[in-house]
């Protein structure tokens, strides 16, 4: 998990850390099913493949690149989690439960921003936008213009602010976030899940400072 911003607050039973809403660890069944017109949170779904790839798995709580303790597939430790170590299956169930709620957030922000029904989007678009919200919080949809760009150069410039993090008190551009944003944009525009999308490395090298 890597996040954008620097806000910590309490929202009901959740915590907002660096702009991302952190949910208590819950399985898919306890999260209340799937979102309306959802992209799917099954083990083979595009969304789960995408999030698993970029979050990685950890059986125990470890600090992410920003020093925030995470466990499983990017679940931020907020207290009340099942005891470690987690199995990959357990982590996947918790991830699926969280993704239901993050997709609901992505749906609400998308519909507010565009006036277009979420269920009219392709599965690839829904997966890409939900992955972005899981990573950076719902403002990446409501305040970011990159989902609407039609070419990678314009998209890269639009998500310039969504590919940095804070490390050692300094804001730095993170290669993993740049590659993730390119992957999400390509998935949304073409339906192709590509973990090495063309152009990300050159753009990162040019804007890493």
Q: Per-residue confidence of the chain (209 residues) as pLDDT tens digits?
A: 534 333 333 333 333 344 444 555 444 334 333 444 455 656 679 999 999 999 999 999 999 877 889 999 999 999 999 999 999 999 999 999 999 999 999 999 999 999 999 999 999 999 999 999 999 899 999 988 888 888 888 888 888 888 888 777 788 899 999 999 999 999 999 999 999 999 999 999 999 86
CA atoms within 13 A on the CB side of 125: 16
Q: Is 92 left (phi over 0), alpha (psi -120 to 50) or beta?
A: alpha
CA-nearest of 200, 171, 188 to 2 is 171
Angle, vertex CA 121, rays to CA 105 and CA 198, nearest 5: 95
189 occurs within a structural domain: yes
CA angle 46, 79, 29 (to 5 degrees): 45
126/39 Cα distance (integer angstroms): 6
Domain assignment present for residue 51? The answer is yes
Q: Does residue 170 sit within a domain? A: yes
Range(s) of the domain holding residue 118: 8-207
Residue 40: per-residue pLDDT: 60
- Let me know if residue 1 belongs to a domain: no
**What pLDDT sits at residue 168?**
74
The angle formed by the CA atoms of residues 41, 159 and 63, to the nearest 5 degrees, is 60
Predicted TM-score (pTM) of the model is: 0.81
* Per-residue model confidence (pLDDT) at position 209: 67
**Interatomic CA distance for residues 109 and 122, integer angstroms:** 16
- Domain for residue 2, yes or no? no
Residues near 151 by Cβ (< 8 Å), separated by ≥ 6?
Answer: none
Per the domain annotation, does 133 fall within a domain?
yes
Q: For the chain, how many structural domains are there in total?
A: 1
Residue 102 placed within a domain:
yes
CA dist., res. 61 & res. 69, Å (int):
6
pLDDT at residue 170, as a whole number: 83
Structural tokens at position 75: 């679940």
Q: Is residue 3 part of a domain?
A: no
Return the beta strands (E) in 120-169 as ranges. Answer: 164-167
Which pLDDT does position 53 carry in this prediction? 96
Determine the pLDDT at residue 9.
Answer: 34
What CATH number corresponds to the domain at position 69? Answer: 1.10.530.40
């Amino acid at each position: 998990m890597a996040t954008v911003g620097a806000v910590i607050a309490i929202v009901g039973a959740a915590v907002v850390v660096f702009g991302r809403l952190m949910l208590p660890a819950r399985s898919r069944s306890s999260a209340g099913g799937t979102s309306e017109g959802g992209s799917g949170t099954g083990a083979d779904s595009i969304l789960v493949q995408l999030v698993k790839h970029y979050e990685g798995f950890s059986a125990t709580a470890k600090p992410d690149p920003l020093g925030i303790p995470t466990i499983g597939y990017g679940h931020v430790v907020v207290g009340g989690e099942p005891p470690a170590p987690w199995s990959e299956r357990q982590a996947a169930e918790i991830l699926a439960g969280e993704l239901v709620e993050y997709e609901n957030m992505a749906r609400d922000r998308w519909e507010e921003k565009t006036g277009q029904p979420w269920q009219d989007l392709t599965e690839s678009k829904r997966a890409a936008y939900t992955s972005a919200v899981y990573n950076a919080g719902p403002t990446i949809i409501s305040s970011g213009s990159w989902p609407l760009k039609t070419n990678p150069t314009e998209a890269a410039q639009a998500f310039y602010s969504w590919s940095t993090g804070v490390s050692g008190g300094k804001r730095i551009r993170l290669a993993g976030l740049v590659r993730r944003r390119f992957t999400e944009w390509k998935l949304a525009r073409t339906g192709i899940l590509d973990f090495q999308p063309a152009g990300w490395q050159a753009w990162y090298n040019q804007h890493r400072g």
